[in-house]
Structure 1
Amino acid sequence: MASSTLNYGFSPFYSMLGLYCRSPDGQLLNTEGREAEAITYHWPAISEQLNSKKATFTPLPSGLLVETSHIDVVSNLSDPSPIQSHIRLRAREIYREASNCYVGILSHRPQDNHEGAFREWIETLFVSKTTLQPRLGQELQALTRSEYKSVAERIWEWVKTWFAPKTTIQARQPKAPVQHNCEFVAEQITTLFERMLRNTAEADEWDCSGRNYFFHRVLDFVNRNEACQMALPAFPCKSPNDAKVGGSRPDMAERIALETLCDFVRNVKKLYAPGAIVHVIHDGHLLSSCIGVDDDVVSEYESDLQELYRSMFDSSADRQAIKFCSLSDLFFSESDNMQTFDQSWILDPDLLHHPIQTKLSETAELARKLIMASCGIDRSHFRKLILAQDAPTLKSYRGLSHFMLKDLAGPSFDSQSTSRKKKTASSVAAEMMARNQAYSNLLELLFPNYVRLSIHAHNNRGPKFGIRLFPRDRVRPIDDIEGRHEPVPRYDYQIPTPWHNSIVRIEGDDIAYLTKACVARQAVAGGRYKGGWVEDGDEGGHFLLCDVELPREKGDDKQIEVVSVMDVDVETKNILIPPSPLCQYHEAGQLF
């Protein structure tokens, strides 16, 4: 087997060693990617060939030039780096006037020298859209170009220091306090993140390595006196399972989550004038056909969420704290990419599997296919890992299959036999894992220097860091109303999301609760509580309950959807949840 990890394949992503920034004279300014250390180690040889003026130039419709160079790297047999001897590489670069540097991508060159139009297009897209910038004030982790200077050059530089005027030496000294101040600010922001947003993992590595990783990511922006950029794939759409949510639109749960992110950015700005920006990348269209939600419903959720955010804040600073981006924006936000794209590149029917039948939009389907075509894994390798009982892969696969077996809903799914339901859930889990890995690969190339945030639990060693969207002193995740004051250990590490749950407020309690909608409905059906779903235009939709033993406050004229005894099965005492209109399932095909 070629690899024991799921992240293995033959799409263009796997031929790319990494991204880099270089000065016009060839000095390496930054590098990111799977083989970043190897690129840095071999940079003298790479730089020498880049400066040989043998590049070919391809003009884009905007007039921008893409420079392509063929490079041969020869390394010693004792070289421990991932690049082996006699490697044929290709560098594709674009010059950025704003930063006076070249941004490039280094990839393996096909043995037959066959270019491939799609590979050329996608590599050009990555180079033109990547956020990678020169690193200022920080040493590269491996050897840099300056360390390859000849002995004569180093002796001459040492000799020059003896004859340099004292004023020249003194003029350089004020830079040290500036650097010290940058590190102090980056440390403060790191501590703030640790206190306000970071979610602790069960096997957490924040203290031993993750904190230092996060600090240097922040320091990279502080050194340039720029806003700290953070990327968060989140806010896909409401779950189509009515047992979990009160509706398909953003409600109080999303409102609190957005307030949490904005509060963090506000506090960063108090420490550091440029502040921070959280880029929310909507990932609903990535998995909509896996969870049974139509593409237009996802688009409506995205639009409603952005409108909710704009309505929450009056100041321009708050409105700029969070920026939203869709999957299609990642590929077609620039005219060059749109004008040079060819639909014939993504006709392969095996790019995507749709385990659940939903209404697909052309734009969303195009974005999904491009993600899989450019960064997708090898599905046959995935099957081999499952058959070989690879522990990490099997654990994720079984866990997600079990989750989807509970999460999927609708008349088509509910009418299936138990064995068919399990097969459908397994097929969905496999497709979700494949898409998620491809998506992660894509973000690695487009946002290599951003602080990458996640609503999922991570070990927090980097590059991803798990966060809490609900402050502990404001929202408590629970499994039942009666036991709401008792801690739930399983929520110490994995916090439920706004789109899989609902907010429940109980009169007399200062804190709000996050739980499944059916928990609130069951509490009312049991007779201990009164109330139901509230469509509150100011605070967002939520469940509002009142203990029947406590008097209601006068003047409360909110319209409440009261759960009646007709919502309960008399024999089983279970809540009867009406099927979601968002879900339309069909018989799933073969696994994977």
Structure 2
Amino acid sequence: MVAAAPSSLAFSSARRILLDTGLQLLENQGFGTVSMADIALAAGQPLAEVYRHFGSKNDFVLGLYQRVHDDLEARSPDLPAGPLALRFQAFMREKLRLLAPHHRLLRSQMAALLDADVPTGVLSPETENIRLRGLALFELVVRGATDAPAENLVPALTQALYAAHWGVLGLRLLDRSAAGQATDELLEMLSAGLALATPQLATQLGPLLLGQVGVAVGQFLQVSPAVDFAVARRMAKLILRHRKVLRTDSEASPAPDEQSIAVQLPKLHYYISQGWPIHLILPAFPAKSPNRQKVLGTLPDLGEEIALTFLQSLCDDIRQVYAPGARLSICADGRVFADLVQVSDADVSAYNDVLKSLIQRLGTPDLDVVNLEDLLATDSFDQARAWIVAQYGEPLAELKARVRDTDHARAMFNGIHRFVSEDGQALAPEKSKSRVKEESKEVAYEVIQRSNAWTKLLAQEFPHALRLSIHPQHPHSDKIGLRITRAQDDWLTPWHGVVLLRANDYVLLKRSQAEETGAVLVEQDGRPSHFVAGPNS
């Protein structure tokens, strides 16, 4: 354990530090001259630790591909609303931006990128899952366009655009013009051509041409004919059945559609193709709110028991359609937010200990708990929190701009701000409501910043896992907002509420609301557990 500055490599997870160090060495010194031992030495890690995470240097390049797609999937809800040409150009600019720091490495690998027999080749069997993820992203680009073509044309158009985007990426690697001007001009021309061509897809000639292109591109992409998304689709629909969607002024809460399903299929297929259990990760179960108007105390109660039981039942349901089943890692995030939400690290530890004992007592074998200290070696949680923000956090100015400019980001902010304001008012009743609401804005921004940073760290640690969230999410996000209890609203969780048992069902609500009904408090193991509706409730 160390107590270094927040920027110290000691805070980093082994996989993260190895990937960063390996990519930097390969970028600066050349792929052929760097050995795995060199990477271990530069990272200050034993050689055995390198091989535990990466089987060869090729795995570092594959790790780069995965990292880029993680970021693209996270930003896909931010694609502009509008015609296909606009969305295509916005997507391409974002991908070019993400790849820009790695041009030198990728240029040195040009021959390998074009060789389907090399593991890092864009058409190799080893990168098939990356291609599937890329195709899913382009399907989102197409389906979300205001001028999207008929349903039967979507697959062919998706494949054509995916193939075209490789041409743009290849030119950028070879582009020696100032600031990639030649590539920028090509992208402008492609977008202009797409704007002209899209309306023609509705004519009789359009589907004929696109069908021929689709057949050729499909052969070129070399996606295995064994790829069958039937099981993956059933699992995606099963999970999405329990989802919570951000509600905005311009969006209803639609049933899962093809866009919602498409983004999940490649990750599900990754596990199905190897016969492994599906891995789900859920950042959740931080600690009880310090607001005693909402909760009964500092430790888990019946609300957590119901939520854990539901999560196990979800894994059981998946096993009904896919024999290997699923395992779900609760990525407890109390450490990440403790100082912001005015909860002590001691309370986080106590909550976490009881949570783990509940998992054992309830018999939920497919659930496990991952904490910040399981991923980062540190004896200072304050420094670890600062490190996560420094390494993975989005600048607050950019976050505020997204909240200002996009409906779903604003809806997320409003939901978090409401909870922070409620707790702030309860903890500082001497302050005016308007003052608390204003002070809570900055806290809400920081909560979202840290939440996103925690998500990025988890994506680094579990690159193939399906991502869940306890918050409502954009309907086409790579994260699925999961409803883990019956609650009065989509933002309420067991750690922000209490369970009220009624004659025919239960509901999660705030403690003050349960007490106002005249409900009776019930204790278990000497601790308050839940409420039962009284005869006059």
Contact 1:205/1:459, CA 8 A, preserved across alignment: no
2:465 aligns to what? 450
Q: Write the distance in 2 (CA, Å) between the matches of 1:51 and 1:422.
A: 53
Cα drift, residue 327 of structure 1: 1.4
2:231 aligns to what? 185
Q: Write the distance in 2 (CA, Å) between the matches of 1:440 and 1:364.
A: 18
Q: Does 1:331 align with 2:376?
A: yes
Q: Does 1:252 align with 2:268?
A: no
Contact 2:500/2:532, CA 8 A, preserved across alignment: yes
Name the SS of the counterpart of 2:532 in structure 1: strand
Name the % identity.
24
Q: Write the distance in 2 (CA, Å) between the matches of 1:383 and 1:460.
A: 21
Name the SS of the counterpart of 2:331 in structure 1: strand
Q: Write the distance in 2 (CA, Å) between the matches of 1:363 and 1:292.
A: 17
1:210 aligns to what? 260
Q: Does 1:198 align with 2:194?
A: no
Q: Select 1:424's aligned residue among 436, 439, 446.
A: 439
Q: Write the distance in 2 (CA, Å) between the matches of 1:184 and 1:383.
A: 40
Contact 1:237/1:284, CA 8 A, preserved across alignment: yes
Q: Write the distance in 1 (CA, Å) between the matches of 2:484 and 2:429.
A: 32
Query: After superposition, what is the alpha-carbon deviation per residue over 1:505-526, rounded to whole angstroms, capped at 9, x for unaligned?
Result: 13xx1211211111121122xx
Q: Does 1:59 align with 2:40?
A: yes
Contact 1:505/1:512, CA 8 A, preserved across alignment: yes
Q: Write the distance in 1 (CA, Å) between the matches of 2:526 and 2:325.
A: 28
Name the SS of the counterpart of 2:512 in structure 1: helix
Cα distance change, pair 261–382 in 1 and its aligned pair in 2 (3 A): closer
2:523 aligns to what? 535
Contact 2:522/2:530, CA 8 A, preserved across alignment: yes
Cα distance change, pair 420–191 in 1 and its aligned pair in 2 (3 A): closer
Cα distance change, pair 401–198 in 1 and its aligned pair in 2 (3 A): closer
TM-score (norm 2): 0.59
1:515 aligns to what? 509
1:109 aligns to what? none
Q: Select 1:230's aligned residue among 274, 280, 299.
A: 280
Contact 1:203/1:459, CA 8 A, preserved across alignment: no
Larger radius of gyration: 1
Cα drift, residue 89 of structure 1: 3.7
Cα drift, residue 452 of structure 1: 0.7
Task: Give the length in aligned residue pairs.
Answer: 371
Q: Does 1:285 align with 2:285?
A: no
Cα drift, residue 381 of structure 1: 4.6
Cα drift, residue 53 of structure 1: 1.3
Structure (1 or 2) with the greater helix fraction: 2
Contact 1:230/1:276, CA 8 A, preserved across alignment: yes
1:303 aligns to what? 353
2:192 aligns to what? none
Query: After superposition, what is the alpha-carbon deviation per residue over 1:257-280, rounded to whole angstroms, capped at 9, x for unaligned?
Result: 111110111122233222111111
The code of the aligned residue for 1:54 comes to T
Cα distance change, pair 137–270 in 1 and its aligned pair in 2 (3 A): farther
Contact 2:240/2:480, CA 8 A, preserved across alignment: no
Contact 2:30/2:105, CA 8 A, preserved across alignment: no
Q: Select 1:377's aligned residue among 386, 394, 404.
A: 394
2:271 aligns to what? 221
Cα drift, residue 287 of structure 1: 1.2
Query: After superposition, what is the alpha-carbon deviation per residue over 1:39-86, rounded to whole angstroms, capped at 9, x for unaligned?
Result: xxxxxxxx99998613362325322459699x9xxxxxxx97443899
Q: Write the distance in 2 (CA, Å) between the matches of 1:103 and 1:366.
A: 37
Cα distance change, pair 538–463 in 1 and its aligned pair in 2 (3 A): farther
Cα distance change, pair 236–521 in 1 and its aligned pair in 2 (3 A): same
Name the SS of the counterpart of 2:268 in structure 1: helix
1:366 aligns to what? 383
Q: Write the distance in 2 (CA, Å) between the matches of 1:300 and 1:87.
A: 43
Query: After superposition, what is the alpha-carbon deviation per residue over 1:375-427, rounded to whole angstroms, capped at 9, x for unaligned?
Result: 122235556778xx54656665455434322122556x112244542343223
2:533 aligns to what? 545
Q: Write the distance in 1 (CA, Å) between the matches of 2:376 and 2:501.
A: 41
The code of the aligned residue for 2:350 comes to E
Q: Write the distance in 2 (CA, Å) between the matches of 1:134 and 1:228.
A: 19
2:501 aligns to what? 505
Show structure 2 runs of 5+ residues with no match: 1-6, 9-14, 17-25, 65-87, 107-117, 136-161, 168-223, 247-251
Name the SS of the counterpart of 2:257 in structure 1: helix
Cα drift, residue 437 of structure 1: 2.8
Cα drift, residue 90 of structure 1: 5.9
Name the SS of the counterpart of 2:452 in structure 1: helix
The code of the aligned residue for 1:463 comes to D
Contact 2:293/2:426, CA 8 A, preserved across alignment: no
Cα distance change, pair 501–137 in 1 and its aligned pair in 2 (3 A): closer
Query: After superposition, what is the alpha-carbon deviation per residue over 1:489-509, rounded to whole angstroms, capped at 9, x for unaligned?
Result: xx3xx2521111100113xx1
Q: Write the distance in 2 (CA, Å) between the matches of 1:536 and 1:257.
A: 17
The code of the aligned residue for 1:323 comes to D
Query: After superposition, what is the alpha-carbon deviation per residue over 1:93-146, rounded to whole angstroms, capped at 9, x for unaligned?
Result: xxxxxxxx9899xxxxxxxxxxxxxxxxxxxxxxxxxxxx864697563459x9
Query: After superposition, what is the alpha-carbon deviation per residue over 1:146-183, rounded to whole angstroms, capped at 9, x for unaligned?
Result: 99xxxxxxxxxxxxxxxxxxxxxxxxxxx96xx36x53
The code of the aligned residue for 1:445 comes to Q
Contact 2:497/2:509, CA 8 A, preserved across alignment: yes
Name the SS of the counterpart of 1:414 in structure 2: coil
What's the RMSD between the two structures over aligned residues? 4.3
Cα drift, residue 250 of structure 1: 0.7
Contact 2:280/2:328, CA 8 A, preserved across alignment: yes
Q: Write the distance in 1 (CA, Å) between the matches of 2:282 and 2:441.
A: 27
TM-score (norm 1): 0.54
The code of the aligned residue for 2:390 comes to A
Q: Write the distance in 2 (CA, Å) between the matches of 1:433 and 1:331.
A: 21
Cα drift, residue 311 of structure 1: 0.4
